[in-house]
Amino acid sequence: MSSYRPGVCNIGKNEIRKRYALGLVGLFAAGLLAIVVFWLSLPAWLLLLCFIPLFLGAEGIFQGYFHFCAGFAARRIFDFSGSSDEKGGVTEKGAHDLDMRKAMRINVYSLATAAVITAAIYLIAVV
């Protein structure tokens, strides 16, 4: 997609790449944390800290997948750098409301994904 569509698409190719990169960094950080906890035989509760990088990782991946940045929605902007180079602000209330609904959906997906994976990692450690 190469143009702003309220509640559907608010980022272009360059921004999508950034979101996927953030996602991979988050997943890598969570994996590294889990490995360190297991390797050093640290208390299992420390694995619950994996939630933070897992949430950031899931947020990045979902934003890339949906071509939609939740942070841009909150700031009322869009950026299609790398696609059509269209950038701008969202001034219509209806468009902003649609954007915020999509942003909330992405946040909920990310929260649920991070919670489930964190719980699985923790349960594997304590069982």
What pLDDT, in 10s, does the model give residues 13-24? Answer: 999 999 999 999
- pLDDT for 2 beyond 90: no
Task: Read off the pLDDT band of 91 (50, 70, 90).
Answer: very high
Q: Tally the C-alpha atoms within 13 A of residue 60's C-alpha that lie toward its C-beta.
A: 19
* CB 15 within 8 Å of CB 73: no
Round to whole Å and give the CA distance between 114 and 120: 10
Q: Tally the C-alpha atoms within 13 A of residue 95's C-alpha that lie toward its C-beta.
A: 15
Give the predicted TM-score (pTM) of the model. Answer: 0.91
Return the domain boundaries, the chain.
Answer: 13-126
Which residue, among 73, 71, 46, 41, has the nearest Cα to 56 in the 3D structure?
71
